[in-house]
Each structure stands twice: as C-alpha cells, then as structure tokens.
Amino acid sequence: MTAALFDDVFLGGFECSTQRLEDGRRLDLLASTRHRELAGADYARLRALGMTACRDGVPWTVVAGRSGAHDFSSVAPMLRAAEHHGVRVVWDLMHFGWPDDVDPFAGSFPSRFGRYARDFAAFHASELAEPPWVAPINEMSFLAWAGGDVRCLNPFARARGVELKAQLVRATIEAIEAIRLVDPRARFLQPEPIIHILPSPEHPKTWGRVACDELLQYQAWDMLRGDVWPTLGGHPRYLDIVGVNSYPDNQFMLDGTTIPKDDVRYKPLSKMLLDVWARYERPMIVSETGSEGDGRAPWLRYVASQCEKAMQRGCELHGITLYPVLDHPGWLDDRHCPNGLWGYADERGERAVHQPLADEVRRERGRLLGARSEMLASRAVVEGGAAARAAGCPR
C-alpha cells in the first residue's frame, strides 16, 4: 500500500515571513511570535494535540553572513527540538524575504539561492540522520504577482511578474539539485495558492481575461515540471509534493470582490483539489489554510469535509496544514491577528489555546485518517494494476 507522508492528517504551520516592507522595515515572524525562542514548547504543543509534522522556516535573511557564508546556529536548536519531540519539519528556505544584498532579478540569483540550499542541506546532515524536507520558495506565483506586478510586496516592481516567476522557478531548480547532491532522499514541497475567479455576466468581454488569469495559478508548477518555458530547465523530477494554499478569500471577481462560501457561485474546494490532482497526479497536501476569530473552527470543518470528498474521489491528499498555527502581528500594522490554534506567549512562555479549533481538530481527525487510508489503499490497487499491465502480467 502507498505510504502516507505523515503519521497524522493535520500539520501545524509556523508563520516565518521575512520580507521588507515598503517603509523599509524588515519582518521576522519567527521572532515576533517568539517561536524561534520557544520552538521546543511549540513542538510539544503540536504533539500533545496529535500533530506529528509542521511547516517552519529557515530565514535566509537571518542565516546569511556578510562573507557569503551561512550561519545556521539560530536554526540548530529548532532542529534538535523537532527531533526530540518527534515532529517532522518541512523547512521553508525563502518565505517572501531575501538578504538585502540579493537582487532577485539578477542573473546570479538562482545560483546564489542554490548555494544557500546546499549549505542548509549540509548543515541538516550534520545534525540529523533523517533526510531534509524542504519547501524551497513559498508561493512563487503570489510573490511574482504581488512583488513583480502590483507592488504590494518586495521587490515592489511593476510589469515584471513573469520575469520574477521565471527567476524563482530557476532558483527552485538550483536548490533542489543542490540539496539532492547532499542527500538524494530529500523531499520537496511546492506550495502555491489555488484560486477561483468568477466572470461577471455584466462584462462578457472580460471572460477571456478571467480564464487566462485563473490558469496562471498553475504556471509556476507547469514551469517547474517543464510543461511550459522548457528553457528554464523544468522537468517532472522537480515536482515532488504539491502544496495547495486555500483561504476564505481565495475566490473573487476580477475587481477583487470576495465571493463568500455561502454564495451559489462558490466553487467547492473538493473540486479545486481534484482539478490540481488531475493536472499533476502528484502527492498533495493542503499546505496552508485558516481563518480568523470565531471563523476558525467552522472554516476547518468545511475544509476537512471537502478534503474527505476529494480523497473519496481519488485525490492523493495526505494532510491539512493549519496556517498559521500561532497568532501573529499583522504584516503592515502589527495588529493582533487572531488566526492561530494558540495565541501570543505570556511571560512564562505559555500560549492560550483556541479551544473551538482544537476541538474541531480532534473531531475531524478520525474520519480524515479513515478517508486517507481508503484512498491510499485504492491508489495501491490502481498502481499495482498499472505495473502488472506494464510488465505484461495477466490480471
């Protein structure tokens, strides 16, 4: 039987953004949430709720030295704490931020990112016997649009989104190759947002644009796999685990108006997951999902039910990542974002749990684990039959 990627069906996700804001401030969410300081306690909290895996970050901005060397001393305690608590970590190497002397448009950017990835893999091998699990660059499509087209994220460029996306894809390829040279067992997650844009009946001339814009959600994955722009070096070997990020505002009109979940035009998440599965047929996880305030538990209930439906229809979905798993300060205004499973740490390092969300995790786990087991068993039958036919064996 095809093995599950993770023991549990739920993962935690620690916000680790490090981008520069337009006013010059540098974010470091691992510091502002105190997760870097309290990683051991935070991993213990995950395990106490039954979670055995998470997404976390290795901020390039923190580990990069002036000489070009990398100092991973700030990450070492996190690796050791994760191992101690039995938590498998998928490490983000670039979550929207890069060192100040790095130009993401420069021809040297992909190779420099590759060297950073190689150094992390070597450091990981020096600390742990297990292979690294890595998300090289978080949300290439969103970063290319937000930072390369509409100037709401660094590097604050306009009309350079495709150029930036190509750079990010090339950098991802360099990182994967570099890490595999250190440890061929490494696994890679490629997280991208999945969206649905609704055409307006009042503006039929925009329907073609809507269709094109919606297809762009797949472009980074397609580039990575070599389906488009093959001169970037893409190949199926670079698309390992597909991560889909889905939030309550991921469906909208062309003018940006959000379509609420109770709208009859809302596309079921199960259908969106199946669309991605049909396109790539690679192992998948929901790599980010969550809501704020009292909407946290109801949103997870919806996502879990849709994931169960997708698995019942053949989607090889291995898990759901609660993201972020800790409340955090808002990027632009430092407001308290109440979107985590746990809140801010007090003076003793304790975090209050959002009980409705914790209860929902416990309620959904059993049926999701059952649905995953049935899906994986069915996949094993399908793959076994395909292998037998390829070998010319009778059924």
Please give the backbone phi and psi of residue 365, each rounded to the nearest 5 degrees, phi first: -60, -50
Q: Are 42 and 89 in contact (CB under 8 A)?
A: no
**Percent of the chain whose pLDDT exceeds 90:** 91
pLDDT band at 203 (very low <50, low <70, confident <90, very high): confident
Helical residues (DSSP H) of the chain, grouped into ranges: 29-32, 35-48, 60-63, 76-85, 109-127, 140-148, 161-182, 207-215, 219-225, 269-280, 296-312, 355-390
pLDDT band at 380 (very low <50, low <70, confident <90, very high): confident
CA 41 remoteness from chain centre: 23
- Model confidence pLDDT, tens digit, residues 2-22: 899 999 999 999 999 999 999
Residues 6+ apart with CB under 8 A from 252: 195, 196, 197, 198, 258, 259
Give me the mean pLDDT over the 316-336 stretch: 97
- When the candidates are 3.40.50.1970, 3.40.50.1860, 2.60.40.790, 3.20.20.80, the CATH number that belongs to 10-390 is 3.20.20.80
- Model confidence pLDDT, tens digit, residues 145-159: 999 999 999 999 999
Three-state SS string over 261-296 comes to CCCCCCCCHHHHHHHHHHHHCCCEEEEEECCCHHHH
Which pLDDT belongs to residue 394? 53
Which pLDDT belongs to residue 118? 98
Bridge partner residues of 373 (DSSP): none
Residues 6+ apart with CB under 8 A from 295: 248
Residues 6+ apart with CB under 8 A from 50: 8, 10, 361, 362, 365
Terminal CA-to-CA distance of the chain, rounded, Å? Answer: 18
The answer, as to whether pTM is greater than 0.85, is yes
**Gap between the Cα atoms of 112 and 38, Å rounded:** 30
